[in-house]
């Protein structure tokens, strides 16, 4: 299967294999071929939804330290920034998410895959609104939400008022209209097509919303009892069962802060990074159609421990880019 690109394989060998497959399929084109192998990266350099600029630096940090990403044949298609005005964060977020969603929509339509790098987790509203509308003609979007939190507040239930605590509710169609009506007026996700993994810190209002909607939540307790491998596989089945494709929204705070310190809102008792990476192997069977990694906070990292984990996760996520299979 062409999307199963082994890590550390010689790049030329990989190209030869893919050229052969393209020739065989009759889609061989001598020019402009290699551009198709670039994994599209969309950066969202904003911490506006967290009220903390810290995690807004991640895309710029990765862009500037391209040696970290040398194993990934990628291209930054855009890096988004939040405007300084107006003062109202909802207005600024809404403008930002509209721009992200438009770009993500275009990129997904043409490439069939992308990796979005936040930023605080509110950027998920832009990313997944774009992906959901891009695949709408084929069906609904499923989403795996890997996070220590539920991120399912509405302005009425949120104590902090921070928008990065609201993106999943907004994508389900609940909350301020400036967040729920990005690109289109309809909800971007149906509750039965969503699963959360790694949750261990939440408030009653958001939990009540998800419970009422019947969203499947794999709390950390269940993950520990059953193992992340089994849970990931089951969750993947939920989000892919009735959908045209599913995405993965990965919040770095899902990881245990002892093993990954560089996140904005650390919560003890999280996922083991090695076990999580190993659990992604179930995606090869049915690959995601987009991937998002958020909430990396450089200022809180130690010796780039979390940055290096983020890079390994992005490497793995890049393996699912179906660049060659699209041309069949």
Q: Which residues pair with 217 in a beta bridge?
A: 196
Question: Is 153 part of the annotated catalytic residue set?
Answer: no
Our CB check for Mn ion shows the closer of 291 and 321 to be 291
State yes or no: is 251 an active-site residue.
Answer: yes
- Which residue reads 């298609």 in tokens? 77
φ, ψ of residue 247 to 5 degrees: the values are -115, 170
Question: Rounded to the nearest whole angstrom, what is the least distance from the CB of residue 251 to Mn ion in the complex?
Answer: 4
Q: Which of 111, 121, 178, 316 binds Mn ion (CB under 5 A)?
A: 121
Cα separation, 232 vs 238, whole angstroms: 10
Q: Which residue among 133, 251, 292, 301 contacts Mn ion (CB under 5 A)?
A: 251
Catalytic residue flag (residue 151): yes
Find the shortest distance in angstroms from Cβ 272 to Mn ion: 18
Choosing from 74, 149, 153, 292, the catalytic residue is 149
Angle in degrees, CA 129, 134, 140, rounded to 5: 75
# residues contacting Mn ion (CB under 5 A)? 4
Write the binding mask 46 to 85 for Mn ion: x where contact by CB under 5 A, - elsewhere.
Answer: ----------------------------------------
Tell me if residue 12 is catalytic.
Answer: no
Closest CA to 127 of 294, 322, 312: 294
Residue whose CB is less far from Mn ion, 99 or 146: 146
**Nearest distance from residue 27's CB to Mn ion, in Å?**
39
Nearer to Mn ion, 112 or 167 (CB): 167
Of 121 and 316, which CB lies nearer to Mn ion in the complex structure?
121
Contact track, Mn ion, 150-169, x by CB under 5 A = -x------------------
The CB-of-199 to Mn ion minimum distance in angstroms stands at 10
- Kindly tell me which of 22 and 252 has the beta carbon lying closer to Mn ion: 252
> CB burial class (10 A; 0-12, 13-18, 19+) of residue 241?
exposed
Catalytic annotation present for 74: no
Sign, Cα dihedral of 230, 290, 203, 211: negative
Segment 296 to 315, residues that bind Mn ion, using CB under 5 A:
none
From 253, 256, 292, 301, active-site residue: 253
CA distance 88 to 161: 12
**Could you tell me the smallest distance in angstroms from the CB atom of residue 325 to Mn ion?**
31
Q: Are 199 and 271 in contact (CB under 8 A)?
A: no
301 in catalytic set: no
Yes or no: say if 321 and 77 are a contact pair by the CB < 8 Å rule. Answer: no
Whether 121 sits among the annotated catalytic residues: the reply is: yes
Structure tokens at 268: 């003890």
Closest distance between Mn ion and the C-beta of residue 322, in Å? 26
Beta strands in 93-237 (DSSP E): 115-118, 141-146, 194-199, 216-219
In sequence order, which residues have a C-beta less than 8 Å from that of residue 89 and are 6 or more positions away? 48, 49, 51, 163
Report the half-sphere exposure of 32 (CA within 13 A, side-chain side). 2
Q: Residue 164 in contact with residue 44, Cβ under 8 Å?
A: no
Whether residue 149 lies in the annotated active site: yes
Quick one: which segment of 117-125, 200-208, 212-220, 311-319 binds Mn ion (CB under 5 A)? 117-125
Which one of residues 147, 206, 256, 301 is an interface residue with Mn ion (CB under 5 A)? Answer: 147
Would you tell me which residues interact with Mn ion (CB under 5 A)?
121, 147, 151, 251
Active site positions, annotated? 121, 147, 149, 151, 164, 251, 253, 295
């Amino acid at each position: 299967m062409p999307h199963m690109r082994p890590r550390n394989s010689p790049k030329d060998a990989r190209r030869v294999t893919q050229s052969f497959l393209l020739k065989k399929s009759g889609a061989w084109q001598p020019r402009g071929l290699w551009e198709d192998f670039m994994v599209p990266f969309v950066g969202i350099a904003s911490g506006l939804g967290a009220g903390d600029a810290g995690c807004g630096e991640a895309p710029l940090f990765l862009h500037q330290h391209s040696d970290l990403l040398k194993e990934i044949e990628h291209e930054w298609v855009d890096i988004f920034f939040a405007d300084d005005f107006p003062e109202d964060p909802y207005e600024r977020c809404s403008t930002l998410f509209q721009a992200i969603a438009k770009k993500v929509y275009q990129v997904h339509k043409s490439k069939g895959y992308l990796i979005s790098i936040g930023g605080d987790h509110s950027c998920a509203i832009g990313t997944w609104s774009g992906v959901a509308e891009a695949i709408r003609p084929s069906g609904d979007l499923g989403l795996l939400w890997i996070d220590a939190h539920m991120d399912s507040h509405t302005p009425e239930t949120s104590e902090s008022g921070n928008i990065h605590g609201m993106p999943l509710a907004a994508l389900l169609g609940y909350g301020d209209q400036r967040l729920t009506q990005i690109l289109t007026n309809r909800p971007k996700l149906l509750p039965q097509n969503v699963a959360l993994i790694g949750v261990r810190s939440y408030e009653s209002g958001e939990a009540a919303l998800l419970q009422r909607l019947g969203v499947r939540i794999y709390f950390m307790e269940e993950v520990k009892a059953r193992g992340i491998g089994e849970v990931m596989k089951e969750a993947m089945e939920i989000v892919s069962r009735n959908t045209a494709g599913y995405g993965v929204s990965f919040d770095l705070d899902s990881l245990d802060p002892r093993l990954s310190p560089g996140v904005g809102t650390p919560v003890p008792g999280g996922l083991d990074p090695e076990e999580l990476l190993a659990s992604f192997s179930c995606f090869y069977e049915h690959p995601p159609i987009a991937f998002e990694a958020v909430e990396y906070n450089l200022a809180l990292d130690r010796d780039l421990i979390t940055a290096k984990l983020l890079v390994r996760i992005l490497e793995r996520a890049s393996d699912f880019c179906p660049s060659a299979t699209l041309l069949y």
